[in-house]
Structure 1
């Protein structure tokens, strides 16, 4: 019996020593600069017309669609056509902050083509004002990111 109890106690001790502290996954992470990700907010910033879209998920989808449509409408087709044939230059990663007043700031664009990067930055800075984003009753800065393909920006 002693041969069974001692190894079992050792195993239990090791299990408790190396177990990790439980974390609260319901609390969204706030970045060091005080921004919260758009997708985990209580009340994410919305573009005009999306507040009445229904559920929070539907409102977020509405805002994402309006952002993409805005970029497409403002985009210079000549730039998109010039690079859309080259798949290496086709991907665009965009991130920006929606500040506490609903204005876009701190725009960052990653792509392999400098003309495309400048054009997308120009357009993102022209986005209309968002509603204020709140989390737990406080206005907060919100980070927003999206991926696009240059060939999807060409207006038919």
Structure 2
């Protein structure tokens, strides 16, 4: 009896070859899944006021009122001394304050001018008139201008900061950078300082914050003063 199938079409002869190819393909897929990494490039910034005071709850205690003081003693009767006409009474002589033409006039050589008191740098949270960021001039009120400036600074830092730098440095997880700078009397950003987990991140934060645009300076008691500003930067690297 002749076989029904062609011997060349028998796949059982190459079953071992197909099995080996399948194993190699599964190992390659598993290796790619283990080595695959993703990076979260979202950048978050928060505004921190240096001089914000913590509200402390003061317990209400009952005040003990001291007893009223005793009434003052009655005044002693005034003794009126009668002076007889024959007794001589010394009179007080009032000297004239008018100057005489013969007296020497003293000349004043120099008059010292009063030096204006210089106001020290004021934190951003307690400044009377906050610095005005370009584009926030139309905001009404000090609080509105303060909120507008904080929002614009956050947008500027998110746009300019290189968040991929942390991944290139081999850092993982949440990275926090604390930046402090001053807006001087002319509205320029100066004295930028940063603290970060890596010196490269500190340099990047100083570079970005130093490039902030010139602002209208803040005022305290109607005079331009330096304003201290703190900016925490936070982002996550996976």
Report the TM-score when normalising by structure 1. Answer: 0.69
**1:63 match:** 149
More helix by share: 1
- Tell me if the contact between 1:99 and 1:140 (Cα under 8 Å) persists in the aligned partners: yes
Work out the CA distance in 2 between the residues paired with 1:125 and 1:36.
20
Give CA-to-partner distance per residue, 1:34-76, whole Å, 9 cap, x none: 2100111111112111121223212111101111111111112
Matches within 5 A, 1:1-156: 34-82=120-168, 85-87=172-174, 90-151=175-236
Q: 1:137 to 1:47 in 2, by over 3 A?
A: same
Work out the CA distance in 2 between the residues paired with 1:84 and 1:129.
33
Indicate the larger mover: 41-50 or 72-81. 72-81
Unaligned runs of 5+ in 2: 1-64, 67-118
SS of 2:232's partner is: strand
Give CA-to-partner distance per residue, 1:13-44, whole Å, 9 cap, x none: xxxxxxxxxxxxxxxxxxxx921001111111
- Tell me if the contact between 1:84 and 1:151 (Cα under 8 Å) persists in the aligned partners: no
- Tell me if the contact between 1:104 and 1:129 (Cα under 8 Å) persists in the aligned partners: yes
**1:25 match:** none
Please, what is the CA RMSD of the aligned residues?
2.2
Work out the CA distance in 2 between the residues paired with 1:138 and 1:115.
38
Larger radius of gyration: 2
Work out the CA distance in 2 between the residues paired with 1:131 and 1:84.
38
Q: 1:84 to 1:70 in 2, by over 3 A?
A: farther
Unaligned runs of 5+ in 1: 1-7, 10-32
Work out the CA distance in 1 between the residues paired with 2:234 and 2:216.
27
